[in-house]
């Protein structure tokens, strides 16, 4: 038996890519059908056809389409039906996408690309019946198509769904939920299929191109050298996120100074400058709670001890309180107890669940405590404040903990003394923790880094900071040499950020590509921090008397869920709104749709935990802060204490009212 020559093999592979049957390939190449089937099975082990010319087994959906093909004369037999079944099933998706780009001004420039892709360029569905009455559809990407096309098409599908809900021009059943491979834990699963020739080179999967024979690429694929820009206009994203507010929590005469998500993302805690703490659930599992503390709430953070998830609350008068999520679930109530009494005001809190440490910003110093509350211990370590400069005391404006499988890094930011990162290590046997300098962002004269966030990439760190003098600035450590200094990178073009009376928050979203920041006029923007391009606008108030003073983000990368909580000041009243973006059902719930707000509840006072420090849980309230400029807002307590809160417009004493 003669072996197959290299030329015959290239010809067979080329014909297999055109979905020709084994019989047709045998007639053209002179190779037996059994050898062709063996070669096809070797090259494409997941494919079910090419078995001596027999078609693959049809599913129930395929059978209905096959009967329709035969009845209308489009196919003569089952073999021809099987060969053409995928283009038939993909045609509605192609038509829907083409109609969508024709209807949208922002998408119309992509009309030619959609037409060039045709039905063969669309992804297909694999129907999975998970119950007698429920089916789901797994998306199958063509192996030859570039991954960037998936996200590009996904945005068009979201637009198509919005058009369907506000128009009667689309007929038939609505688009079903399609589960993408990355949602199943298999981001690299692709299916074989007929490729589309003469597309831009970046429309093809580069790994697929490298594995194809040169003859196939030159004679059949023929990619063009054009580099297509698979990017949608900002107006497209704005249209996707335009929505109405379903409900809103209003806090009379109050400013939301701090917001924090629980580690599971199902609870939101919010603190006000008047000392009111609100805790509400995003579902029905937990009841809401409300407490009145003695002074302004300047920091909130969730963490875990040995038994339960805990909320830690920092006040400007130096008290740190804690509450157990487990107790709230079991007894339908939160018991807020005093955890620590510090010397100075609490300006920031951070938690390392890996090292079981709570970091507290006590004025200008950092104090670390063990999270284990069963035994009351002293500090595990204390980081002294940096040296004073120009007669200004160092004030911590924020702290972030970044944890990996083998290391814990605590990043500490100061209003006028830069930002520094430290390796944190704890010896549990003797309750001692060590902090070793990792990298630092040197202070810059006249710059006030009031709000900031960090994102850790594989080889370097990126810092985004709201500089009160200039706007949003980017810094990055050196990926080549030892990352000991974070260098200034660029000034991000930001819209509506200016506000004369307060610090406006900034933070990275989960993927590190996008930046979210609150601004004056009540808007919350999501932008590409590399280009400044606007991606989305949340709570688009566009009110000159409204500002966003606090933000919190939470993400579950495994489930593709991301949430953003915005604390907004509107005149004399404050509000809290939570937004959700879900990759799985994003067409139905874009990020700009409010997820939930808090109901009203009577306020309570905290109780002292058993075995805790003697005395009342909170001291008497401080004197009322008057309306001041942003500069004096940071000089009121200990020189510049209110750096984190930036609450120059607040009043003590508040009453709550819920509007729906």
For the cut 70, the answer to whether the pLDDT of residue 482 exceeds it is no
Spatial neighbors of 81 by CB under 8 A, at least 6 apart, are 55, 58, 65, 66, 69, 70, 75
Strand partners for 611: none
Q: 2 burial class (0-12, 13-18, 19+ CB within 10 angstroms)? A: exposed
What percentage of the chain exceeds 70 in pLDDT?
59
Position 309 pLDDT exceeds 80: yes
The residue-averaged pLDDT of 121-134 equals 55
Which segment of 74-78, 85-89, 368-372, 564-568 scores lowest on mean pLDDT?
A: 85-89
Residues counted in the chain? 660
Q: Mean pLDDT check: name the lowest of 61-70, 237-246, 568-577.
A: 237-246
Residue 349 has pLDDT above 70, yes or no: yes
Confidence tier at 126 by pLDDT (50, 70, 90) = low
Q: How confident is the model at residue 14 (pLDDT cuts 50, 70, 90)?
A: confident
Which one has a higher pLDDT value, 427 or 298?
A: 298
Q: What CA–CA distance (Å, rounded) separates 551 from 431?
A: 33
294: left (phi over 0), alpha (psi -120 to 50) or beta: alpha
Decide if pLDDT at 236 tops 50. yes
Q: pLDDT category, 297, cuts 50, 70, 90?
A: very high
Instruction: Find the range with the poorest average confidence among 159-173, 224-238, 248-262, 452-466.
Output: 159-173
Q: Which helix (H) or strand (E) is 93 found in, with range?
A: helix 78-103
- Tell me if 415 sits within 8 A of 395, measured CB to CB: yes
Mean per-residue pLDDT, 51-78: 55
Q: Backbone phi, then psi, for 330, in 5-degree steps? A: -80, -40
Give residue-wise pLDDT tens across range 92-107.
677 778 888 887 777 8
d(CA 138, CA 189): 11
Looking at the predicted structure, is the pLDDT value of residue 208 above 50? yes
| Residues 293 and 315: beta-carbon distance below 8 Å | yes
For residue 485, which of 421, 439, 449 has the smallest C-alpha distance?
439
DSSP 107: T
Range 110-130 average pLDDT: 72
In tens, the pLDDT along 573-622 reads: 777 888 877 765 544 444 444 544 433 333 333 333 333 332 222 323 23
pLDDT tier at 541, thresholds 50, 70, 90: low
Give the mean pLDDT of the chain.
70
Cα angle at 582 between 576 and 585, to 5 degrees? 130
pLDDT at residue number 410: 95
Backbone angles phi, psi at 261, to 5 degrees: -90, 145
Q: Average pLDDT of 189-199?
A: 70
Long-range contacts of 65-73 (CB under 8 A, 24+ apart): 65/89
Q: Which domains does the chain have, with CATH numbers?
A: 1-54 (no CATH), 76-232 (no CATH), 237-243+252-659 (2.130.10.10)
Identify whether the C-beta of residue 609 lies closer than 8 Å to the C-beta of residue 373.
Answer: yes
Q: Write down the pLDDT at residue 628.
A: 32
Give the closest residue to 552 by CA, choosing from 526, 582, 578.
578
pTM of the model: 0.56
d(CA 92, CA 90): 6
According to the model, what pLDDT value does residue 169 have? 40
Burial of 80 (0-12, 13-18, 19+ CB in 10 A): middle
Q: Report the alpha-carbon distance of residue 222 to residue 229 in Å, rounded.
A: 19
Mean pLDDT of 426-430: 77
| Ramachandran sector of residue 512 (left: φ over 0; alpha: ψ -120 to 50; beta: rest) | left
Q: What is the dihedral of CA 248, 252, 258, 259, to 10 degrees?
A: -20
Give the confidence band of 56 by pLDDT, cuts at 50, 70, 90: very low
Helix (H), strand (E), coil (C) string for 249-304: EEECCCCEEEEEECCCCCEEEEEECCCEEEEEECCCCCCCEEEECCCCEEEEEEEE
Q: How far apart are CA 301 and CA 310, in angstroms?
A: 8
d(CA 406, CA 266): 28
Alpha carbon dihedral 150, 153, 155, 160, in 10-degree steps, equals -150
Residue 133 has pLDDT above 70, yes or no: no
* Res 453: pLDDT: 93
Rounded Cα distance between 365 and 522, Å, is 33
Nearest Cα to Cα of residue 381 among 435, 334, 341: 435
**Binning pLDDT at 50, 70 and 90, where does residue 194 land?**
confident
Q: Is 116 exposed, middle or buried (0-12, 13-18, 19+ CB in 10 A)?
A: middle
C-alpha distance from residue 36 to each of 16, 18, 33, 40, 558 (Å): 9, 14, 5, 6, 41
| Percentage, residues of the chain above pLDDT 90 | 9
Confidence of residue 367 (pLDDT cuts 50, 70, 90): very high
What are the percentages of helix, strand and coil residues in the chain, rounded to 5?
Answer: 20, 35, 45
């Amino acid at each position: 038996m003669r072996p197959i020559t290299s030329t015959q093999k290239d010809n067979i592979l080329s014909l297999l890519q055109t979905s020709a049957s084994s019989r047709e390939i045998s007639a053209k190449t002179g190779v037996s059908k059994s050898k062709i089937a063996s070669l096809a099975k070797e090259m494409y082990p997941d494919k079910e056809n090419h078995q001596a010319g027999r078609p693959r087994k049809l599913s129930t959906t395929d059978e209905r389409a096959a009967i329709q093909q035969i009845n209308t004369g489009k196919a003569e037999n089952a073999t021809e039906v099987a060969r053409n079944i995928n283009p038939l099933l993909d045609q509605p998706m192609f038509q829907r996408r083409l109609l969508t780009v024709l209807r949208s001004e922002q998408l119309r420039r992509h009309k030619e690309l959609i037409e060039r892709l045709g039905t063969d360029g669309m992804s297909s569905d694999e129907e999975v019946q998970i119950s007698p009455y429920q089916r789901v559809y797994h998306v199958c990407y063509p192996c030859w198509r570039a991954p960037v096309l998936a996200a590009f098409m996904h945005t068009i599908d979201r637009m198509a769904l919005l058009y369907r809900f506000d128009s009667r021009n689309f007929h038939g059943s609505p688009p079903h939920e399609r589960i993408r491979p990355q949602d199943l834990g298999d981001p690299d699963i692709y299916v074989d299929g007929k490729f589309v020739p003469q597309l831009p080179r970046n429309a093809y999967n580069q790994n697929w191109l490298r594995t194809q024979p040169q003859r196939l690429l030159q004679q059949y694929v023929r990619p063009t050298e054009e580099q297509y820009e698979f990017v949608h206009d900002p107006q497209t994203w704005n249209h996707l996120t335009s929505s109405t507010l379903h409900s809103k929590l209003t806090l009379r005469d109050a400013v939301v100074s701090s917001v924090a998500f629980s580690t599971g993302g199902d609870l939101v805690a919010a603190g006000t400058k008047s000392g009111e703490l609100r805790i509400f659930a995003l579902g029905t599992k937990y009841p809401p709670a409300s407490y009145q503390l003695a002074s302004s709430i300047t920091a909130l953070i969730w963490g875990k001890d040995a038994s339960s998830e805990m909320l830690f609350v920092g006040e400007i008068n130096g008290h740190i309180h804690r509450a157990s999520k487990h107790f709230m679930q079991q007894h339908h109530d939160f018991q807020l107890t005093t955890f620590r009494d510090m010397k100075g005001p609490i300006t920031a809190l951070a938690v390392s669940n890996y090292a079981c440490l709570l970091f507290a910003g006590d004025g200008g110093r950092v104090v670390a405590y063990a999270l284990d509350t069963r035994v009351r211990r002293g500090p595990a370590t204390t980081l002294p404040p940096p040296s004073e400069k120009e007669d200004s005391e160092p004030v911590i404006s924020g702290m972030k903990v970044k944890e990996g499988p083998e290391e814990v890094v605590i990043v500490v930011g100061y209003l006028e003394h830069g930002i520094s990162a430290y390796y944190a290590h704890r010896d549990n046997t003797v309750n001692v923790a060590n902090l070793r300098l990792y990298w630092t962002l040197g202070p810059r004269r006249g710059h006030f880094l009031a709000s900031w966030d960090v994102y850790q990439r594989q080889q370097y760190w990126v810092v985004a900071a709201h500089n009160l003098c200039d706007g949003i600035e980017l810094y990055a450590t050196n990926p080549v040499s030892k990352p000991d200094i974070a260098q200034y990178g660029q000034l991000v073009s930001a819209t509506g950020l200016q506000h004369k009376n307060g610090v406006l928050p900034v933070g990275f979203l989960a993927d590190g590509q996008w930046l979210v920041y609150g601004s004056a006029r009540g808007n919350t923007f999501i932008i590409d921090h590399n280009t400044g391009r606007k991606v989305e606008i949340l709570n688009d108030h566009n009110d000159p008397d409204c500002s966003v003073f606090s933000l919190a983000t939470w993400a579950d990368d495994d489930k593709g869920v991301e949430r953003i909580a915005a604390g907004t000041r509107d005149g004399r009243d404050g509000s809290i709104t939570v937004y959700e973006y879900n990759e799985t059902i994003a067409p139905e719930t874009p990020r700009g749709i409010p997820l939930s707000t808090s109901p009203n509840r009577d306020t309570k006072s905290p109780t002292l935990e058993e075995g805790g420090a003697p005395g009342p849980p909170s001291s008497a309230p401080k004197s009322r802060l008057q309306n001041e400029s942003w500069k004096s807002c940071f000089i009121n307590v200990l020189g510049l204490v209110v750096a984190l809160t930036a609450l120059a417009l607040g009043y003590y004493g508040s009453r709550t009212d819920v509007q729906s």
